[in-house]
Amino acid sequence: MKAVWGLLAVWLLTACATAEDPKSKEPSAQVTVYREPSTRDSLFPMLFSVDGRLLLRLYPDEEGSAELPAGEHRFEYELGLYNCSANVRVESGKTYRYRLAQGCVIAPDDEA
């Protein structure tokens, strides 16, 4: 009978144990996006999303930053009737800067 109770206790303890977070322990990548100035579309905010999740609302000559896990991401923006997207790969611990502009521009900025 003690053996049964012992096995039951072991089973309960393992069932209650918390699993480790499957996310990587690597540092995130720091990503900054900059919206170029423009007189044609200055009234509209540029809605910047990563992997389908809205992150930033940018007006001309504004920038914003976010930390992203290493790997492939889909950068997207909406600006009035314009939609633009690009697949981007970031590495952990690195810093990136991207330039956003009308005409479907999502490009690495040389100032980074």
Question: What is the per-residue pLDDT across 38-72, written as a single tens digit (0 to 9) for each?
Answer: 877 678 899 999 999 999 999 999 999 999 999 99
The residue length of the chain stands at 112
Residue 3 domain-assigned (yes or no)? no
Residue 10 domain-assigned (yes or no)? no
Quick one: which of 55, 52, 51 has its CA closest to 35? 55
Q: Domain span at residue 60?
A: 26-108
Domain count along the chain = 1
* Between 67 and 21, the higher pLDDT residue: 67
What CATH code is carried by the domain that includes residue 49? 2.60.40.1120
- List, in sequence order, every residue forming a beta bridge with 101; answer none if it has no partner: 105
Residue 92 domain-assigned (yes or no)? yes
For tokens 């923006």, the residue is 77
Q: How confident is the model at residue 20 (pLDDT cuts 50, 70, 90)?
A: very low
The pTM is what? 0.74
Residue 79 domain-assigned (yes or no)? yes
Residue 19 domain-assigned (yes or no)? no
Q: What is the mean pLDDT of the chain?
A: 83
Question: Alpha carbon of 58 to those of 17, 32, 41, 95: distances in Å?
Answer: 44, 12, 12, 20
Residue 48 domain-assigned (yes or no)? yes
Residue 9 domain-assigned (yes or no)? no
